[in-house]
């Protein structure tokens, strides 16, 4: 005989019930069936709500009863042929009338005992089983309806009654010995020794089916639900979760006990004792394989089978010097909790015995605290023990798997994956069986935590990279373009799923957790919300997604000011904006430290030489123990343009004007010509070499007469004209020696300067075209011939690609 159980969603509507009937018909050809059903989806919740409203004197309970009535009557009308409808309707109405009378009684006395609530709740399954059995009859199935309350006997712990297996097993055995082909039974319900209705706990229909399967030694128990098996994680939270093929009883128990709602935890025990295989199957996709729960996993099992979580957890810690080495403390603690029926979900005790920490349901906090404070009142009064400390809004996240015990480093991997994503672990417990490693984390981090762990243990090596990008000008739009083109390669070759979750320009911002479509980002941005830097950051932080990166494509000081806020929220920062890295040394350091403390990256390769690998090369040298002795560099595209084109026959004023018109310089070319930008760049290189330096420590050799710096831009050009000779002399002096003028930044032996230099042909700086930048590193390991990085040092495309490379570095 097989035992089948169909859950609430499987019987939610007439359409679904017909799917159930089809499965039952097919299965019944192979042998006899006991078919347990839950109440129609949502009905148990409604019944409880009606009972509670009635007890509070709220007449609206009648509306809820009406809803319940209408839903059932509508199903009967759809499912039962007209000829039989009136008989079925009258039986359904009889059950509904009983329900109404009970609720009326509750309303009149203003009280709802757990015994009465059980009577009320039982109506859900009594109604559904009756209607479904009638539908099967009308479909020609040889079916009988059996009231489970005559079979399963329990104690009087209403709401979650304990089964009297001896009596139950006997009754089941006798009944099913001569049952018809198909027996339909209500799940969830039972009776105590006085014949009063009890229930087995929320979700208990699974248990009802398992109890009967165990009692009659069924060949198999099949739990039919709305997902294709027990999954690697709750599919509502982890979209990448997938069904587990096979799982041991122990693993299934742990998974369900730690929150995998798909099976009610006590279900495992009766089938485990008799080694009855359990299948979890999908009513809506009956051909999907489903999950087999059985004695042993198979040889190919993964070491972690599933991840689950329980929310609304509180941690209670008892601490004090008086506990050390004194036997009986834990016994008293747990007895005090047991007396108040507080369920302890997880326990940790430090090996110094200085503290014991237990996780309980938040709902039990008051009971638990009172019980413990009174149990240890004396010890607390003499300060041997501190009053109980309680933390709330926590969750337990657990890894489950029989094979974890044979693998080193599972917990290490778990903790580091959580840590890398800024998820703080409040407590840890690992049973000695090592079937389960549990961590207590903040409830707000659960979704992120489950996804991080799922990625780490099941999806590897596909990683999600979640980007929040500000600035969609020249560089920003090129970056989006590059990401779009490269997405496929990254996912196939690097197993990296890069998605732009947030995007903003100075006016608007748009978000999409699944990734903004990069074909139509402009339209999405246009239709977005008004942008402010704080609200963009607020969104990014609230999303609390793993592997998040904030990308700054702007040159704005305001944006640079909020990097710290991102880093502290475990969001990496990638930027082409030089302001932060060239700000006060203290600020630069604190950003680097914040990144380190929160296990994220602060990357700004494009601050110097756009996409050229300058900072990365420097970092590699320094990290591997090299020491930077000297840096010589030409780092300004605008100054290169000017000095490459300044020759005999052209005045300096003309060439600067041309550079300005063609957009090679800032609107006020003095910003370039005074070398401020170059100073920032060399400063960043010096700092990355490990030297603490400020902007003011860099010497700059002005090559322009002082009055050029005064007044307006027009005045500046006037002055350039006036001083024509000064510039011509600079040029002729250099070219007389066969040399060229270059604006060079130098760092040598702790000293830095920027200024115009005359460079001889044999010098590597001599031959430098167009927008090229060049950096020469003389180091302990490159003492004679410097290491040289050279190439285009400006342009939206190369800058975007440098940013892109930094983005990828945050997760590699």
Residues β-bridged to residue 399: 307, 437
Among 235, 613, 764, 795, binds ligand ADP (CB under 6 A): 235
Q: What is the rounded CA–CA span in Å between residue 583 and residue 585?
A: 6
Is 231 near ligand ADP (CB under 6 A)? Answer: yes
Decide: is 9 part of the binding site for ligand ADP (CB under 6 A).
yes
**What are the CA-CA distances from residue 686 to residues 125, 423, 632 (Å)?**
75, 34, 11
Stretch that binds ligand ASP, among 200-208, 516-524, 640-648, 677-685 (CB under 6 A): 200-208
Can residue 8 be called a binding residue for ligand ADP (CB under 6 A)? yes
Cα of first residue to Cα of last residue in the chain, in angstroms, is: 54
Among 124, 266, 290, 306, binds ligand ADP (CB under 6 A): 306
Q: Residue 583: name its binding partner from ligand ASP, ligand ADP, Mg ion, none (Cβ under 5 to 8 Å by kind).
A: none
* Minimum gap (Å) between residue 264 Cβ and ligand ADP: 7
Q: What is the spatial distance between Cα 710 and Cα 717, in angstroms, rounded to a whole number?
A: 11
Q: Distances in Å between the alpha carbon of 795 and those of 90, 286, 323, 469, 709?
A: 81, 57, 68, 19, 28
Question: Is 548 exposed, middle or buried, given 0-12, 13-18 or 19+ CB atoms closer than 10 A?
Answer: buried
Interface segment toward ligand ADP; rule CB under 6 A; list 258-266, 368-376, 511-519, 571-579: 258-266
* Active-site annotation holds for 681: yes
Window 23-42: contact mask with ligand ASP (x via CB under 6 A): ---------------xx---
**Beta strand segments in 163-219, E:** 182-186, 189-191, 197-199
Q: Is 539 helix (H, G, I), strand (E, B) or coil?
A: helix
The helix (H) or strand (E) run that includes residue 171 is helix 165-177
148 binds ligand ASP (CB under 6 A): no
288 contacts ligand ADP (rule: CB under 6 A): no
Among 2, 8, 306, 582, binds ligand ASP (CB under 6 A): 8
Closer residue to Mg ion (CB): 203 or 422: 203
CB of residue 9 to Mg ion, shortest distance in Å: 9
CB of 5 to ligand ASP, least distance (A): 8
In this structure, what token pair is assigned to residue 610?
């756009």
Cβ 443 to Mg ion, closest distance in Å? Answer: 23
Contact 336, 372 (CB under 8 A): yes
User: Who's near 540: CB < 8 A, 6+ residues apart?
Assistant: 468, 501, 502, 548, 550, 566, 569, 571
Give whichever of 229 and 270 is closer to ligand ADP, judged by the CB atom.
229
Question: Smallest Cα–Cα separation from 315: which of 275, 279, 346?
Answer: 346
Number of residues that bind Mg ion (CB under 5 A): 2
**Among residues 631, 623, 634, 613, which one has the least CA distance to residue 782?**
631
At its nearest, how many Å lie between ligand ADP and the CB of residue 239? 12
| Residue 204 interaction partner, one of Mg ion, ligand ASP, ligand ADP, none, beta carbon < 5-8 Å per kind | ligand ASP
Q: Which does 202 bind (CB under 5 to 8 A by kind): ligand ASP, ligand ADP, Mg ion, none?
A: ligand ASP
CB-based contact 591:575 (threshold 8 Å): no
Minimum distance of ligand ASP from residue 597's CB (angstroms): 45
227 counts as binding ligand ADP under rule CB under 6 A: yes
265 binds ligand ADP (CB under 6 A): no
In terms of DSSP bridges, do strands 182-186 and 189-191 run parallel, antiparallel, or are they unpaired?
A: unpaired
Q: Which tokens is 19 given?
A: 């799917």
Q: Which residue is nearest to ligand ADP (CB)?
A: 7
The entry of Mg ion, ligand ASP, ligand ADP, none near residue 187 (CB within 5 to 8 angstroms by kind) is ligand ASP
Q: Which part of the chain contacts ligand ASP (CB under 6 A), choosing from 196-204, 313-321, 330-338, 412-420? A: 196-204
**Residue indicated by tokens 């170059």:** 678
Residue 525 C-beta: closest distance to ligand ASP, Å: 45
Asked if 261 is part of the footprint of ligand ADP (rule: CB under 6 A), the reply reads yes
Are 465 and 496 in contact, with CB atoms under 8 Å apart?
yes
Is residue 124 part of the contact set for ligand ASP (CB under 6 A)? yes
Report the number of secondary-structure helices (H) and strands (E) in the chain.
28, 29
CA distances from 187 to 76, 146, 192, 401, 436 (A): 20, 11, 16, 30, 30
DSSP state of 668: S
376 binds, among ligand ASP, Mg ion, ligand ADP, none (CB under 5 to 8 A by kind): none
Query: Residue 208 CB, nearest distance to ligand ADP (Å)?
Result: 11
Q: How far is the CB of 233 from ligand ADP (least distance, A)?
A: 6
Cα distance between residue 4 and residue 212, in whole Å: 10
Candidate residues 186, 203, 471, 528; the one interacting with ligand ASP per rule CB under 6 A: 203
| 266 in contact with ligand ASP (CB under 6 A) | no
Q: In this chain, which of 187, 203, 306, 401 binds Mg ion, going by CB under 5 A?
A: 203
Q: Name residues whose C-beta falls within 8 Å of residue 581's C-beta, 6 or more positions apart in sequence.
A: 588, 591, 604, 607, 684, 687
C-beta of 2 vs 681, nearer to ligand ADP: 2
Footprint on residues 35-94 left by ligand ADP (CB under 6 A): 38
Compute the residue count for the chain: 812
9 binds, among Mg ion, ligand ADP, ligand ASP, none (CB under 5 to 8 A by kind): ligand ADP
Binding range to ligand ADP, per CB under 6 A, among 174-182, 227-235, 608-616, 716-724: 227-235
CB of 205 to ligand ADP, least distance (A): 7
In the list 18, 67, 181, 226, the residue contacting ligand ADP (rule: CB under 6 A) is 226
Map 383-449 to HEC letters. Answer: CCCCCCEEEEEEEEEEEECHHHHHCCCHHHHHHHHHHHCCCCEEEEEECCCCCEEEEEEEHHHHHHH
Q: Active-site residue among 681, 719, 740, 757?
A: 681
Rounded Cα–Cα distance for residues 347 and 432 (Å): 12
- Do 469 and 479 contact (CB within 8 A), yes or no? yes
Residues 40-59 that bind ligand ASP (CB under 6 A): 44
- Of Mg ion, ligand ASP, ligand ADP, none, which one does residue 226 interact with (CB within 5 to 8 Å by kind)? ligand ADP
Nearest to residue 608, comparing CAs of 809, 793, 801, 803?
793
75, 134, 222, 234: which one contacts ligand ADP (CB under 6 A)? 234
Exactly one of 198, 208, 225, 267 binds ligand ADP (CB under 6 A); that residue is 225
Given ligand ASP, ligand ADP, Mg ion, none, residue 124, with its beta carbon under 5 to 8 Å by kind, binds ligand ASP
Please give the C-alpha separations between residue 631 and each of 615, 618, 672, 775, 777, in angstroms, as whole numbers: 12, 10, 20, 7, 5
Look up tokens 């840890």; give the residue: 428
Size of residue set near ligand ADP by CB under 6 A: 20
Instruction: Give the residue from 449, 768, 443 showing the smallest Cα distance to 609.
Output: 768
- Sign of the CA dihedral running 177, 178, 183, 187: negative
Task: Find the shortest distance in angstroms from Cβ 243 to ligand ADP.
Answer: 8
306 binds, among ligand ASP, Mg ion, ligand ADP, none (CB under 5 to 8 A by kind): ligand ADP
Q: Residue 236 binds which entry of Mg ion, ligand ADP, ligand ASP, none, with Cβ cut-offs from 5 to 8 Å by kind? A: ligand ADP
Question: Residues 233, 293, 698, 754: which binds ligand ADP (CB under 6 A)?
Answer: 233
Q: Which residues have a Cβ under 8 Å from the Cβ of 201 and sit 6 or more positions away?
A: 159, 160, 207, 264, 266
**What is the closest distance, in whole angstroms, from the C-beta atom of residue 210 to ligand ASP in the complex?**
11
DSSP string, 8-47: TTTTSSHHHHHHHHHHHHHHHTTS-EEEEE-PSTTHHHHH
Tell me which residues touch ligand ADP (CB under 6 A).
7-10, 38, 203, 225-227, 230-231, 233-236, 260-262, 306, 308
Residues carrying an active site annotation: 681
Residues of this chain that interact with ligand ASP (CB under 6 A) are 7-8, 38-39, 44, 124, 187-188, 202-206
């Amino acid at each position: 005989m097989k035992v089948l159980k169909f859950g609430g969603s499987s019987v939610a509507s007439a359409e679904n019930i017909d799917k159930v009937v089809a499965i039952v018909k097919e299965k019944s050809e192979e042998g006899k069936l006991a078919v347990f059903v839950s109440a129609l989806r949502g009905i148990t919740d409604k019944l409880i709500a009606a009972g509670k409203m009635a007890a509070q004197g709220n007449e609206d309970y009648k509306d809820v009863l009406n809803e319940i009535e209408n839903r059932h009557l509508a199903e009967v009308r759809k499912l039962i042929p007209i000829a039989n409808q009136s008989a079925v309707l009258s039986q359904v109405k009889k059950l509904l009338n009983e329900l109404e009378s009970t609720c009326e009684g509750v309303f009149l006395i203003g009280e709802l005992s757990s015994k009465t609530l059980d009577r009320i709740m039982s109506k859900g399954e009594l109604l559904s089983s009756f209607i479904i059995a009638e539908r099967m009859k009308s479909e020609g199935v040889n079916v009988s309806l059996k009231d489970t309350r005559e079979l399963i006997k329990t104690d009087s712990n209403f709401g979650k009654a304990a089964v009297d297996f001896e009596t139950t097993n006997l009754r089941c055995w006798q009944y099913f010995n001569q049952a018809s082909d198909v027996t339909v039974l209500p799940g969830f319900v039972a009776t105590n020794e006085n014949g009063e209705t009890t229930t087995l706990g929320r979700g208990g229909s699974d248990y009802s089916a398992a109890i009967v399967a165990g009692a009659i030694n069924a060949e198999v128990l099949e739990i039919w639900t709305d997902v294709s098996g027990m999954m690697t994680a709750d599919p509502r939270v982890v979209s990448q979760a997938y069904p587990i093929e096979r799982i041991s009883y122990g693993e299934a128990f742990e998974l369900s006990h730690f929150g995998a709602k798909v099976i009610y935890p006590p279900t495992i025990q009766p089938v485990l004792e008799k080694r009855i295989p359990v299948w979890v199957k999908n009513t809506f996709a009956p051909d999907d394989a489903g999950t087999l729960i059985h004695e042993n996993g198979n040889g190919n099992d993964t070491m972690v089978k599933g991840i689950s979580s329980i929310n609304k957890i509180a941690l209670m810690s008892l601490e004090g010097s008086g506990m050390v080495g004194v036997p009986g403390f834990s016994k008293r603690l747990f007895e005090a909790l047991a007396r108040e029926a507080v369920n302890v979900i997880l326990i940790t005790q430090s090996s110094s015995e200085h503290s014991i920490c237990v996780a309980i349901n938040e709902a039990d906090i008051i009971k638990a605290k009172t019980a413990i404070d009174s149990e240890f009142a004396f010890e607390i009064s003499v300060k041997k023990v501190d009053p109980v400390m309680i933390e709330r809004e926590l969750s337990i996240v657990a890894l489950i798997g029989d094979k974890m015990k044979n693998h080193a480093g599972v917990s290490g991997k778990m903790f580091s994956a959580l840590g890398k994503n800024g998820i703080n672990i409040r407590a840890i417990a690992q049973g000695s069986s090592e079937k389960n490693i549990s961590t207590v984390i903040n409830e707000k981090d659960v979704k992120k935590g489950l996804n991080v762990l799922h990625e780490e243990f099941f999806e590897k090596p596909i990683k999600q990279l979640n980007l929040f990008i500000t600035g969609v000008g020249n560089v920003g739009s090129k970056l989006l373009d590059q990401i779009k083109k490269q997405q496929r390669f990254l996912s196939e070759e690097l197993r990296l799923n890069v998605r732009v979750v947030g995007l903003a320009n100075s006016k608007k911002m748009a978000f999409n957790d699944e990734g903004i479509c990069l074909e139509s980002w402009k339209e999405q941005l246009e239709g977005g919300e008004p942008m402010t830097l704080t609200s963009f950051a607020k969104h990014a932080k609230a999303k609390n997604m793993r592997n998040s990166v904030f990308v700054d494509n702007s040159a704005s000081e305001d944006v640079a000011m909020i990097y710290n806020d991102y880093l502290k929220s475990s969001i990496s920062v990638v930027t082409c904006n030089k302001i932060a890295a060239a700000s006060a040394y203290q600020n630069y350091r604190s950003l680097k430290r914040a990144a380190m403390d929160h296990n994220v990256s602060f990357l700004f390769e494009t601050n110097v030489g756009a996409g050229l690998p300058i900072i990365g090369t420097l970092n590699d040298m320094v990290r591997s123990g090299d020491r930077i002795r000297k840096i010589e560099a030409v780092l300004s595209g605008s100054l290169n343009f000017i000095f490459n084109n300044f020759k005999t026959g052209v005045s300096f004023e003309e060439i600067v004007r041309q550079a300005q018109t063609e957009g090679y310089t800032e609107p006020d070319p003095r910003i370039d010509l005074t070398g401020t930008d170059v100073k920032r760049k060399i400063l960043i290189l010096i700092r990355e070499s490990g030297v603490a330096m400020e902007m003011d420590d860099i010497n700059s050799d002005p090559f322009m007469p002082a009055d050029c710096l005064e007044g307006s831009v027009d005045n500046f050009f006037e002055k350039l004209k006036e001083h024509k000779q000064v510039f011509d002399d600079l040029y002729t002096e250099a070219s007389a020696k066969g040399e060229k003028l270059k604006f060079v930044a130098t760092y040598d032996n702790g000293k830095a300067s920027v200024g115009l230099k005359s460079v001889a042909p044999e010098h590597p700086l001599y031959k430098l075209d167009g927008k090229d930048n060049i950096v020469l590193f003389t180091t302990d390991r490159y003492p004679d011939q410097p290491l040289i990085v050279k190439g285009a040092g400006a342009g939206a495309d190369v800058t975007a690609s440098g940013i892109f490379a930094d983005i990828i570095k945050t997760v590699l």
